[in-house]
Chain A
């Protein structure tokens, strides 16, 4: 607490408010034209709304951005993102993330505490042409404090429910800007098995930005250690408290070094961006989430990636023809170890019971006397991408026409090295247990090309009213299902063990093998029309979209697998939706709202699980100037749902609204505020899943009250 206070005395806060929806200014986006002229749905959130809603993590953008839903469960590596009905629980995200123009490659690094974020721009809908892989649902671009912003040094300190302490600050000096944030929370959910809170969090984020002329360098690092996985079993339809016996938690170190430069030529400007990204993390999980000793997972990753992009575009912003041409590439190497330890109950119920049910009892039975049976899995995965893209924007009177094309090549190769170790005995024939090892080693590789076109048109009916239409394509990268390897090893072990015994099942166990753990890229075609209106302090926009998804990536439980789940290309899906957002700032008022409807279904039938049909956000704020003092009050409602939890749509979560509010009193350089989140204590669930036939739910965070202080030096 004291440490957090001292950290807070070092740094940052909120500079000039740049407000939201459709700012007519150039952002860090690649398009290079004002967002108001983009023929895409776009949400721009300024520092003011980010601050007043207490937004400092991507998940808190849920519903503020129409159609965006990032449920808060698991741990920081979870980062499940749904946007316009696209998304899944595992593997690659459907939203690209850029911080100061640097792409964040690893989804495990998406969820971090923001420091000195001055604006967030989210392009909704497939943005594959300029942004390539994983920009299938959209692109979120964050802009952090720059030395040239001229902001005064500032510090922030918050304290709230669950002993949550957040301290943040920034200062600029010459060509440098420094920012930092620290957060601690005791946690919100108690594990009844241990009696301790299971989701504590401690995290530190640091950022240094240097800018000089056309060059800039950004170095950021975040370090966190947390609990998590607050999943409670559902018994007879009633959600129970968290109750698991094994260790669970997540630690992560993420470092991103990015360099950007711009070269001015007579007609064109050339931008170069390069980054080096390192991520080391360690996740421990009680995989059965019960109080019984079944099985655990420890997953450690060490990955390094380099990215590079060169982009040339015409300097003259108002020229009739505004081309953007670029080349992007990255290489990423990831070493992952994911040992699964089967404990006594897991050995008996998941392995022996499955094996022995096929062996007539009068012949004998299989026994594994080990207290723990490890299945070691190691993966060395290299992935690479190279892309050429071009987009031309033509301004023809009231029309802005855009056409673009990207050729994306991606490949990946994974070496797997797995080993199961155990002792086994067949009773009554074997007099003693015998040591047994099953290695499983090999390599899988895949490559593919994607062609990502885009055409759009924007018509300026009046100075205030614009209509647009877009057809674009995006894709989410394919990959390998490393999670399923412990199941494959269970199968391989049983098969080898039975062969060693000389026993063969009439109906052999079914399993995937390494060769079919690959899943292909998911592709989405987006057809969209929209309108945008702005007059004085009022702005509004609306869009209708139709997204056709091919090779939908879906998490499934493969046939014959007892514990594993894997990503597979399950076929086609379709998202039909409508989105709208508005901002009105009459006098001292600030009114903001966004709404999205999304009907995302498999082949026009069952609704896609985990995707909310509605997202709603409404904020009303007022500030009272009283001399040098300003009293501000903001209240907001945020809602999402209903959801289906499973493919059969038999389990549903209703639509729920959560109320937040903030009251602030500022005088001169100081602001004191109280903020409440989920004030009514709405009970929600953020995640549902099944493991070993048991159902689990993650509960949403309870009511939180936070008191905070900001000081601008």
Chain B
């Protein structure tokens, strides 16, 4: 009887523990390094070793992504830093989801509507980040790892 009760108590404890809901990942500012792929004239154009900074807002509901020294077409004689603000951030216990339907990015000291960002979707899972978006009409994606 005693053994039965003890087992029942242990099983109840285990059940109680299993029922506690998992906590969502708390967004934190992070720097990643990876590859930007731009679809240029229907062909992928890779920018390697590109750094990306993810910076959540104080409440963790929005965030920004800054892509450093990106080049949209191979012929560009310069690279630029682009910041995508006002990204919706949601978290699950497994990952952070990034999403933004439309926003004007910040570059070269202000808003840069020519490369308005649409359809941004992405996630941070563990030490990896990936997202895709359109810079104006230029489909772009990024995959990187935590530095």
Contact = CB atoms under 8 A, between A and B. Distances in A.
Interface of A: 358-360, 362-364, 425-426, 428-431, 434, 500-507
A429 B114 CA distance: 10
Q: Lowest 6 CB-CB distances: which A-B pairs, in order?
A: A502-B81, A429-B110, A430-B109, A429-B108, A426-B108, A430-B110
Nearest to A499: B81
B108 A504 contact: no
A363 B108 contact: yes
A487 B85 CA distance: 38
B113 to A, nearest CB: 9
Contacts of A505: 77-78
Contact of B107 (A359, A429, A506, A507): A429
B8 interface: no
Contacts of A430: 108-110
25 contacts: A358-B78, A360-B76, A360-B77, A360-B78, A362-B114, A426-B108, A426-B109, A426-B110, A428-B110, A429-B107, A429-B109, A429-B110, A429-B112, A431-B110, A434-B109, A501-B108, A502-B82, A502-B107, A502-B108, A503-B78, A503-B80, A503-B108, A504-B79, A505-B78, A507-B77
Contacts of A428: 110
A358 B112 CA distance: 19
A507 B79 CA distance: 11
Interface in B63-88: 68-69, 76-82
Measured as residues with beta carbon below 8 angstroms from the partner, the interface class of chain B is 10 to 19
Contacts of B80: 363, 502-504
Interface in B92-143: 107-112, 114
Contact of A504 (B69, B82, B107, B110): B69
A646 to B, nearest CB: 32
B38 to A, nearest CB: 15
B79 A364 contact: no
A508 to B, nearest CB: 10
B143 to A, nearest CB: 22
B78 A359 contact: yes
Given A358-B77, A429-B112, 19 more contacts: A358-B78, A363-B78, A364-B108, A429-B108, A430-B109, A431-B110, A501-B108, A501-B109, A502-B68, A502-B80, A502-B82, A503-B80, A504-B69, A504-B78, A504-B79, A506-B76, A506-B77, A506-B79, A507-B77
Contacts of B110: 426, 428-431
Contacts of A429: 107-112
Contacts of A431: 110
A430 B114 CA distance: 14
Contacts of B109: 425-426, 429-430, 434, 500-502
B34 to A, nearest CB: 18
A429 B81 CA distance: 13
A425 to B, nearest CB: 8
A1 B81 CA distance: 68
A501 B78 CA distance: 12
Nearest to A357: B77
Contacts of B107: 429, 502
Contacts of B81: 502-503
B144 to A, nearest CB: 18
A52 B114 CA distance: 79
A211 to B, nearest CB: 71
Residue of A358, A360, A503 contacting most chain B CB atoms (<10 Å): A503
A701 B110 CA distance: 58
Residue of A434, A502, A503 contacting most chain B CB atoms (<10 Å): A502
B104 to A, nearest CB: 10
A505 B80 CA distance: 9
Residue of B81, B108, B112 contacting most chain A CB atoms (<10 Å): B108
Nearest to A425: B109
B19 to A, nearest CB: 49
Nearest to A362: B114
A66 B78 CA distance: 58
A426 B112 CA distance: 11
Contacts of A503: 78-81, 108
A330 to B, nearest CB: 51
Contacts of A502: 68, 80-82, 107-109
A424 to B, nearest CB: 9
Nearest to A502: B81
Nearest to A504: B79
A502 B80 CA distance: 5
A507 B82 CA distance: 20
A428 B81 CA distance: 16
A431 B106 CA distance: 13
Contacts of A359: 77-78
Contacts of B76: 360, 506
A14 B18 CA distance: 116
A505 B71 CA distance: 11
A503 B70 CA distance: 9
A647 B21 CA distance: 81
B69 to A, nearest CB: 6
A130 B77 CA distance: 58
B41 to A, nearest CB: 16
A619 B107 CA distance: 75
A368 to B, nearest CB: 13
A507 B76 CA distance: 11
A522 B80 CA distance: 45
Contacts of A360: 76-78
Residue of A501, A505, A507 contacting most chain B CB atoms (<10 Å): A501
B47 to A, nearest CB: 12
Nearest to B111: A429
B105 to A, nearest CB: 10
A69 B77 CA distance: 50
A363 B108 CA distance: 9
A357 to B, nearest CB: 9
B118 to A, nearest CB: 19
A192 B81 CA distance: 50
Contacts of B68: 502
Nearest to A431: B110
Nearest to B73: A360
Residue of B77, B80, B110, B112 contacting most chain A CB atoms (<10 Å): B110
A360 B82 CA distance: 16
A506 to B, nearest CB: 5
Nearest to A430: B109
A15 B9 CA distance: 128
B128 to A, nearest CB: 25
